[in-house]
Amino acid sequence: MESKGTPTLSDIESMVAERERETLRLRIRDAVKSLDKRQAERAVSFLEERAELRRLEHGGSFVAVLWDDEWIPIDRAVEKFCKNAALPED
């Protein structure tokens, strides 16, 4: 990005994409803050691979997580992750 002059469309798109990535990271961390440290770290790794920031038509956004071919809100994804993590592995 050039330091002087008007930013290009590419510059603006890059800034918006970086802002959205940071917003997504913060919302994921906020969603797992009630978990213990180890479980939160595992949940963050899991969610970062499957989460998307979705924009609402009239402003605002929310995080959706792909779970078994279905997009669900992040709070439900954290709840399901915790339930599955508590199950014994075969």
List the domain boundaries for the chain: 9-86
Please state the pTM of the whole predicted model.
0.80
Write out pLDDT tens, residues 24-48.
999 999 999 999 999 999 999 999 9
End-to-end CA distance of the chain: 51
Give Cβ neighbours of residue 52 (< 8 Å, ≥ 6 apart). 24, 63, 64, 65, 66, 71
Residue 89 is predicted with a pLDDT of: 56
At residue 67's C-alpha, the angle toward residues 65 and 68, to 5°, is: 155
